[in-house]
Amino acid sequence: MRFLGPRSISSLLKTALDVVYYGLFTLVAGVFIAAVCLLSVPNLAHEVVRRLDIAGNIGAGEQALILIAFGLSLCGYLLITHWTRYVFQTLAEGDAFHPDNTKRLRWIGFGLAGLEIFGYLTRFVAEGVFHLRFEPIYGLRAVTAWFSVLVVFVLAEVFKEGARLRQEADLTI
Amino acid sequence: MAIRIRIAEVLAQRRLSLIELSDRTGISVRDLEVLRDQRAMAVRLRTLDCLCKALSCQPGELLGYEVD
Hey, is A156 helix, strand or coil? Answer: helix
pTM given for the model: 0.76
pLDDT at A22: 96
pLDDT of residue A21: 96
Q: Which of B31, B32, B42 sits opposite A168 (nearest CB)?
A: B42
Residues 6+ apart with CB under 8 A from A140: none
C-alpha–C-alpha distance, residues A118 and A124, integer Å? 10
- Return the percent helix, strand and coil in chain B, to nearest 5: 55, 10, 35
pLDDT higher than 90, residue A89 = yes
Taking Cα atoms as reference points, which of A45, A84, A43 lies closest to residue A66? A45
Nearest to A16 by CA among A104, A81, A76, A97: A81
Q: Residue A107's pLDDT band (boundaries 50, 70, 90)? A: very high
Contact A69, A127 (CB under 8 A): no
Task: For residue B43, give every residue at least 6 positions away whose Cβ sits within 8 Å of its Cβ, in sequence order, or none.
Answer: A172, A173, B5, B35
B41 chain-A contacts, CB cut-off 8 A: 167-168, 171-172
Span A3-23, mean pLDDT? 91
A35 touches A3 (CB < 8 A) = no
For residue A52, pLDDT beyond 80: no
Mean pLDDT of A41-47: 77
Model-level ipTM above the cut of 0.85: no
Q: What DSSP designation does B64 have?
A: E
Q: How far is A170 from chain B (nearest CA, A)?
A: 9
Contacts of B44 in chain A (CB under 8 A): 172-173
Dihedral (CA of A113, A119, A122, A123) sign? negative
Q: What is the DSSP string of A84-152?
A: HHHHHHHHHTT-TT-HHHHHHHHHHHHHHHHHHHHHHHHHHHHHHHS----PPP-HHHHHHHHHHHHHH
Q: Is B2 helix (H, G, I), strand (E, B) or coil?
A: coil
Element (DSSP H or E) covering residue A153: helix A139-170
Q: Please choose, from the candidates A20, A132, A18, the residue with its C-alpha nearest in 3D space to the C-alpha of residue A69.
A: A132
- Put simply, the answer to whether B40 touches A173 (Cβ < 8 Å) is yes
Measured between beta carbons, the chain B residues lying within 8 angstroms of A168 are: 41-42
**Rounded distance between C-alpha atoms, residue A42 and residue A133, angstroms:** 27
* Beta-carbon count within 10 A of A136 CB: 8
> Confidence class of residue A56 from pLDDT cuts 50, 70 and 90?
low
What tens digit of pLDDT does each residue of B10-45 get? Answer: 999 999 999 999 999 999 999 999 999 999 999 999
Whose CA is closest to A60, among A31, A38, A41? A38
